[in-house]
Amino acid sequence: MHVAADDLGRLGTDDRYRLRVLATARRLSRYDTISHWSAAALWGLPAVDGWPDEIHSTVPAGSGLCPNRTLRRHRTRTPEAETLHVAGLPVTSLARTVIDVAGTASFSAAVAVADAALFSVGRGDHDGLSLLSFRSALSGALDELGRAPGSARARRVIDFADERANRPGESLSRVTMHLIGAPPPELQFRVIGASGRIWHTDFGWPEFGAAAEFDGRAKYSDPQFLRSRTPADVVYDEKVREDDIRPSVRTFGRWDWSTARSPKRMASALQRLGVPVGRD
C-alpha cells in the first residue's frame, strides 16, 4: 500500500493509524486476527490517549507465533467465536474488541471506546445488532475472560459505559466527574427552553438546577457537526440555543478537553454550577 506524502500529511491521526493497520495485511499469518486498539481503529472507535506505536493482533496460544517488529501478538486460549472482516482484514468482533481494550487500557480511554461502541449500535450503525444483543455479547465476552488478567477492570468499564454519551469528550468528562466524587449527571438531559422548544444538554443535575455541555473543537470544524453550516453559523446557533435554555435552569456551563481531562478544573467547573464534589 502506497500513499503520497502530501496525502498522508493531510490525514488526521485516526486515519493515519488506520492506514498503518491496513498496511499490515500482507504480513498477517493465517492465525492472526486484528485486535485491541488496532481493531478499535477499524471499527471507528476513539483513542482519547492516542494510538499505540504497534499493530495489535490475537493468535491462538498454541500457534507458536511470537511478536515481531510489525505486530504485537496477544495469545488466547479462548478461540474468537466471531471473527469478522473489516476492510478485508480479519478483526475481532465489536464486543470482543471493546472487552480487549477495556481489560488493557486506562479506565478513561476504555470508557470512551465502550461508550462510542454502544452509541454506534444504538444509532443503528451495525446491522443485526441492537443495544440488548450487544450488551449480551459484551457479557458473553466478559464471561469468556473468567478471572484472566484484566477481567475485573474490563467489567468495571462495561458497568460504567453508557450509550447516551455520544462523543469521547463526554465520556472523558464522566470519568473525571466519577474520580472526583461528583454526583453522576443525567446524560442527554431534557430541558424545555423559554420558547417551549425541547433541548437536550450533554449533562444535567436536576436536583441542583444545573446543566452543562462539552464543547470540543470538532463542534466548530467537523463536517459531521457542521452539517453544511459555517463555524460562525454554529457559534450563533449555540448562542441562540443557550439563551433559550438558561431561563429554564439555575446554572449552565461549558468546558473543553482541558477541563474534561483535569480533576482540578472539573471540580472548579462543577462547583461554579453548584454541583458538589467529593464523596462523604
- What's the average pLDDT block by block, 10 residues per block, for the chain (280 residues)? 53 89 88 94 96 92 77 77 83 95 96 98 93 95 86 96 94 97 96 95 96 76 63 78 93 95 97 87
> Residue 222: what pLDDT?
62
> Residue 69: what pLDDT?
79
> Residue 279: what pLDDT?
61
Contact criterion met (CB below 8 Å) for 64 and 31: no
Q: Is 169 exposed, middle or buried (0-12, 13-18, 19+ CB in 10 A)?
A: buried
> Residue 84: what pLDDT?
87
Q: CA geometry: angle at 65 spanning 31 and 77, to 5°?
A: 70
251/192 same-domain check: yes
Cα dist. 31→81, 148, 155, 156 in Å?
14, 22, 27, 30
Q: How many domains does the chain have?
A: 2
Q: Examine residue 278 and state whether it is found in any structural domain, yes or no.
A: no
> Residue 81: what pLDDT?
58
Domain that holds residue 120: 5-163
25/142 same-domain check: yes
13/124 same-domain check: yes
How far apart are the C-alpha atoms of 208 and 113, rounded to whole Å? 30
- Asked which of 109, 129, 163 is the last residue of a domain, the reply is 163
Q: Is 20 exposed, middle or buried (0-12, 13-18, 19+ CB in 10 A)?
A: middle
17/153 same-domain check: yes
- Asked which of 163, 187, 216 is the last residue of a domain, the reply is 163
C-alpha cell at 86: 473489516
- Asked which of 133, 163, 193 is the last residue of a domain, the reply is 163
Q: What is the 3-state secondary structure (H, E, C) of the chain?
A: CCCCHHHHHCCCHHHHHHHHHHCCHHHCCCCCEECHHHHHHHCCCCCCCCCCCCEEEEEEHHHCCCCCCCEEEEEECCCCCCEEEECCEEEECHHHHHHHHHCCCCHHHHHHHHHHHHHHHHCCCCCCCCHHHHHHHHHHHHHHHCCCCCHHHHHHHHHHCCCCCCCHHHHHHHHHHHHCCCCCCEEEEEEECCCCCEEEEEEEEHHHCEEEEECCHHHHCCHHHHCCCCHHHHHHHHHHHHHHHHHHCCEEEEECHHHHHCHHHHHHHHHHHCCCCCCC
Q: Examine residue 181 and state whether it is found in any structural domain, yes or no.
A: yes
104/197 same-domain check: no
> Residue 65: what pLDDT?
76
What is this structure's pTM? Answer: 0.89
192/101 same-domain check: no
